[in-house]
Amino acid sequence: MIQAAVPHPSPRRRASLEVLRAEAADERSVLVEERLRSGEDPWEFMSELPSVDEIVVLLLRAERIVPPYAVRPGHAVSDHVLRRIVDDYPPLAPTVWAMLEPAEPERAWTPRVSRDAA
């Protein structure tokens, strides 16, 4: 009998928010450097990049979703994982709630969590 996988009940690591933000800032700087090296104008792409807190939330969400949900997590799995992130890191609450709102049309890249049609 095969049991259905569920979202990871607890984080694999319990890093402080400052450490997570520092790691995310490093990730963001790599994205900026790659785009600068390819000749892109920073005035055009900086608004498209995710914020440091958005990267933190996306990384935490990715590490907490386990197979079979990892490929395309459903609405309920995503909500559960995001609520756990808010429980574990309350200062990220505004970012999480903003990521659940509809995508802003002016941003080419958006960290919004896709919603299934109910």
Reported as a single tens digit per residue, the pLDDT across 40-94 is 999 988 988 999 999 999 999 888 887 666 667 677 777 788 889 999 999 999 9
Interaxial angle between packed helices 52-64 and 93-100, expressed in degrees from 0 to 180 and rounded to the nearest 10: 80
DSSP the chain: -PPPP---SS-S----HHHHHHHHHHHHHHHHHHHHHTT--HHHHGGGSPPHHHHHHHHHHHHH--TTTTSS--HHHHHHHHHHHHHH-GGGHHHHHHHHSPPPTT-SS--PPP----
Is pLDDT of 101 > 70? Answer: no
User: Are the C-beta atoms of residues 72 and 33 closer than 8 Å to each other?
Assistant: no
Distance between CA 61 and CA 64 in Å, rounded? Answer: 5
Is pLDDT of 99 > 50? Answer: yes
Is pLDDT of 9 > 60? Answer: no
